[in-house]
Amino acid sequence: MMSSFEEKPYWRPHYADDISTLLPTIKKYNKAIRKFAADPVNGEDLQAFMDYHRQEFINEYNRRPKFFAAEVEDDIAYKTRIQHRNLKDAIEYVFGDTLFSDKLRVNFDSKLPKTLHSLIGKELFPDTGIYRSSNTNPKGYKFLYLHPNEIPNWLENVFADINTPIGLGVEDWYDKATEFFDRFLYAHPFVNGNGRVARFLVSALLIHHTIVPVCLFSWKPDSNPIYLHVLQEAHEFGNNRLLKSFIIEAVHGNLEKCVQMLDVPV
């Protein structure tokens, strides 16, 4: 049962549906898209959408690399191409070529973050796939992330919890995914790239509900500040309820865009 705080988060207009009412709509969209995709007649349209969605997914992750002022335009273009290539490789590694699936190509275990970090940061990050060895905190905040000595055991426990076989309802699974996201970001296991790895992992966790990897904030204009605020709420005040609402809304938005662009009967 959601509280009014979660049902009507501050960023949604007063006339918008409650967050919990999006869950049955997500299920309806999911079923309709699967039926649409199963018809060979729709193959070309589906492929066109997947190509579009893959680029949208990459754009969300494809933050501008940090360049030195002395670098020339060719170097900047080269690093941008490397970043784009890395993200494509990471997507294919986790979700496959088609980008349309409810089954991952990889085991969802504590080894996956290191592999993803190595793929995303190849030729861009120092020490790819290696946990940080010093304390760190969000820029401008006194809040400290997990002590580096605790990272390995912490992540083992986080993945063990998410992989524990229990019968979860739909809303319970969003609770679980939100908790996982929050705990992983608190661990902040790498020097950089933690947000990108965390979003990849949550997209993987939710793939059965979303069919395609979910774009958490690029699906709707001006969502990035909200995303940052709900993360701050979770980290500083221990309240991840708004983060859960944000994730549910993003899943709904991604599927609704798919339905609208493909003109899927629902």
Query: Which residues carry out catalysis?
Result: 188
Neighbours of 243 (CB within 10 A): 27
AA identity, residue 18: D
Give the span between the Cα atoms of 79 and 94, in whole angstroms: 23
Give the span between the Cα atoms of 161 and 173, in whole angstroms: 12
Give the span between the Cα atoms of 219 and 234, in whole angstroms: 22
Return the structure tokens found at 216.
Answer: 């958490």
Burial of 174 (0-12, 13-18, 19+ CB in 10 A): buried
Closest CA to 52 of 101, 100, 104: 100
Do 46 and 37 contact (CB within 8 A), yes or no? yes
